[in-house]
Amino acid sequence: MRYFENWPLYFNYRRSVKKGQQKDYSTVLHFRTRNRFILGVPVYRMHLFEEIFACHIYWPSFWGKPLNNKKPMIIDIGANIGLFTFFALCLFPAARIIAIEPIEENFSWLKDTIEANKLTSLVSLKQCALSSQRGFVDLYLHEEGCFPIFSSILSVSGRKISVPTKTLVDIFEEEKIDRCDWIKLDCEGAEYEILYNCPDYLFKTINRLSIEAHRGEKPGHTAETLQMFLTKKGYVVKRKDISEQSSMIYALQA
């Protein structure tokens, strides 16, 4: 918890969990980063907070020290309520970040947090999903309470919503990005449509990717195939299997 000035708040939370105390899901824990940002985390989403800030799921230890670029360009695909965005800002306080989130409830929380911290000059927000083409896509929201993270194009269960889509090329063109230092993807199955349909030249401009890959039904929609695909694009790729259905993929330009 080295990123936070009020780090005892996290350990108090962990002690309450170990004691089996009932969690009030309406509670919001407010963490103060060492660069003085305030990050509100609903107790309902503390498992995501732990994955990102305690387990470093998106920055593996074998990547070593952070980027040499003090003002990196970072894209957060599947931003949810902004936990990875703030993790990136803890590592790189002057980073420029594009945070992309299609679901209104998540996007509204993310937007309020960015504005409350006066970060609109550093963080650009996009309320859409990414896919292989512009248009619309159906997302299925699992019944999981507030701030859904298991919205997926793979399922046909749960509440269905239609959201606008853009391509990764669209994002690069709209934001005038000529080189991206780091892309994080956690988009519940859409990672294949996003990456497999990118032109070759785009990969030459992307230094590293952290991807949560979910096994899909279409041919080639597996972590193993995605790993081979990125290797052919010139990356050094490592894969860490989380379960039979999901893996973390870390790709770094050779």
Domains of the chain: 58-253 (3.40.50.150)
Are residues 73 and 96 in contact, defined by beta-carbon separation less than 8 angstroms?
yes
pTM score, two decimals?
A: 0.93
Local confidence pLDDT in tens for the 254 residues of the chain: 799 999 999 999 999 888 876 567 678 999 999 999 999 999 988 999 999 999 999 999 999 877 778 899 999 999 999 999 999 999 999 999 999 999 999 999 999 999 999 999 999 999 999 999 999 998 888 665 554 545 555 555 567 889 999 999 999 999 999 999 999 999 988 999 999 999 999 999 999 999 999 998 899 999 999 999 999 999 999 999 999 999 999 999 98
Kindly state the tokens that stand for 238.
Answer: 């490592």
